[in-house]
Structure 1
Amino acid sequence: DGPEPALIMDILETELRFIEERHKRGQRLMRTLGWNWALFGVIGVVLLLISRADDVSTGIELVSQAVYPLFHAGLLAGLIGWPFARKLAEYSKQEMLIKRMIIEGIMAIQAGDNPRIIEHKLSVFVEPRLRPSGEEKPKAAPTPAPAEDEGLAEKVAAFADERRELLLRMVRETVQEHEGDEEQKAAVEEMVGKVEKGEMELTALLAALDGKVLRSVMEKVKNPPPPLLAQMRALEAKFAFGNFVELADNQIQMLLREIDQRDLVVALKGASPEVLEKFLGNMSERVRTFITEEIGLAHASPEEIFMTQVRIVAVVYRHAERGEIELPAG
C-alpha cells in the first residue's frame, strides 16, 4: 500500500526488539532457578553443619550427609536450570537470525531489487555449506499453446525446417556484404553456427541482426509464410540494446526482475553512458553500488558483451510478444 521504507523498517525493528526481550525473560528465569537451586544446596549444607556442630564424633557421617543437598542442588542446576537457559539463548539467536533475514528480504523486495541480488544478499545469513550452489533449477514444463496458436507454430516450424540452410546462408552473405564492425560480424557468424547445431533459436538470430541486414535478408526470402513474415516485420522495428533509454522506468524495473545479474553486469560493461544511467537509475542505492563495483571488476571481450546484450534484448521481445512492452518505433 505504498508506506515509506523507513516506516516499514521501524515497525519490523520494534517487533524484533520486543521478541528478543521476551526471549531474554525466559532465559533469566531458567538461570535464576539454576542459581537458586545451587544456593539452596549450600544453605542446606550450612544448616546441617550448624545443627551438628556439637557432635564431633561423627565427622565421616556428617560429610556423607552434607553431600546429599549439594548433589541434588547440582543435579537440578546443572541438568535443568543452566542448560535450559543456554538452549533458550541458542534458539533465540537462531530465531533472530531468521527474522533479520526476513526483514532484509522484505526491504529488498520493497526497494525493487533484482531477485538474484536478493538471493545473494540473503545467502550471507546462511552457513557456506548450506548456501545455494548457484546451479540452474530445472525448468518448468512449457504451458501448452492455445488451440488457435497451434497452426501458427506448425507453419513457422515447417518453414524453419525446409529453408533453414537457405536462410542461414542468406544471413552469412548479407552480413559480409554490409559494412560494419568486424567483431560484430564474427559474433553473428558464431550465432549462425549455434543455430546450425541446434544450440540457438532461429528467431533469436534474426533478433540480433542489424536492421539493414534484416531488411536485406527479407528481400531475398521469396514468399515466406505470413507467420514468419509477421515475426520478421516486428524484428525490423529493431529494438537494440541502446533503445533501453526509450523504455519507461516501470518497464525497466519489470525487466530487471528477470535479467540474470551476471548478464546485466557484462552487458552494461559495454553500454553507453545513457543506457548505463537508465538501468542504474531504476535500482536501489545498495544494488546500484554493488552493480557499479561489479562492472568495474568485470572482464569481457567485445564478442561476449555483444552476445550478452542480445540475450537481454531477447527478454524484451518475449515481453513485447505478450503485450507487456510496446517496442519504440524504429
Structure 2
Amino acid sequence: MSGSTHAAIGPADVAGVRRLARAGRLAGSASAAPPGDLARLRGAVYTVAWPLVFSRITRPLERRRRHPDCARGLEWLRPDCLDRFHDDVEAVVEHALRRATGPIENFDGWLATRLSPATVDAHRRRRGEIGALQRPRLPAWLGEALGGEAWLGELAVQILVWAGVPATAGAELWPLDGWAARRAEVTGEPVADRDTLDREVRTVLAAMRTRPQWHAEHVERPLGHKQAPVAPMPADASAEPAPLELAGPDEVDDARLAGLADRALRAIEVRLDHGEVPAAAVTAVVRRVFGGGVSALDRMPHHGSARDEWLATALADEARLERIVGTVLAVLGR
C-alpha cells in the first residue's frame, strides 16, 4: 500500500485509533466498520506503524544486506526493498486490527512489541501460499542422501529458503556469491569459486529429485513464482536487431564493481570472524576478487601498468593499504 493511499489521514484519525485501543475496542470496531470507515482505521494504524517498521525491521535488515542507501530513509529504498517494507507494514496493520481486542494504554508501545510476530507470521503465510516450506529444515532422508555432509545439508536449507523468497538473484537463479560466504563460514575453508558452488547446488538438487513429488511441491513450484531472468539477445546481429543500451559502460562497470565489492566484504568478514589479521584478510581477498577477469578495472587508469601490477603496487603501499583496511572495517562496523 503506497503512502498516497493514506494522504487524507490526519492527527484526528490517529488520535481516534489510540482512543479505541485504550478502550479495548479497536479490533471490534474494525470488524464491524463499513468499508470507508475501515479504510480510515487502516490508514491511521498504518501511520503509526510504518515508522516503527522502518526503524526496527527495515533499517537493520538493509544494513545486514549491505544496502546503505536503503537504510538512509524511506525515499531511498530500492523497488524490491520498498515492496518488502510495505508488505511488513501491511502485516503489522492486519495484526493490530485483529489482535487489539483488550484495553491498550500505550498503543505505539504495544504495536512495537507485535512487529516481529506479525511480520514473521505474514512471511510464513506468503511462503505457504506458493508451496514453499514455512520453516525450512533439512529432512532426515535428504541429509542421508547427501552423505551427512554439514555444508551440503546447510546448502539444501538455503535452497529451500531461497525458493520461497520473491526476490531474484539478478539474471541468475541462485545467489551464489552470498552462499560462497556462508560456505566459508560453515567449512572454515577459503571462499569457493562459483564453479564449485554451482556443482554443489546441482548435487543437492539431484538428491532432492530422488523424491520427485516433494521436489516439485517445495522447490519447483515456489521457484516458478519468481520473475524469470531476461534471456540475452542472440549474438548474430544479422538475425536480430542490436539490443538497446539502457546504460553506458560506466554504469555497467559501477554495477559490476559494486557486486564484486559486496562479495569481497562478505569474504573479508568471514576471515575476520576466524581471527585473521585485518590487513592480511583485506589484501588476500582484494587480490583474489579484483586481481583478474574484471573488465571494469581494465578501463581504469593504471598509469601504464598492467592491472595485476597496479593492484599489487597499491596493496604494497602501507599508507594506501591502511586507508583501505580502515574503510573496510568502517563499512563492516568493526
Quick check: TM above 0.5?
Answer: no
The structure with the largest helix share of the pair is: 1
TM-score (structure 1 length as normaliser):
0.23
TM-score (structure 2 length as normaliser):
0.22
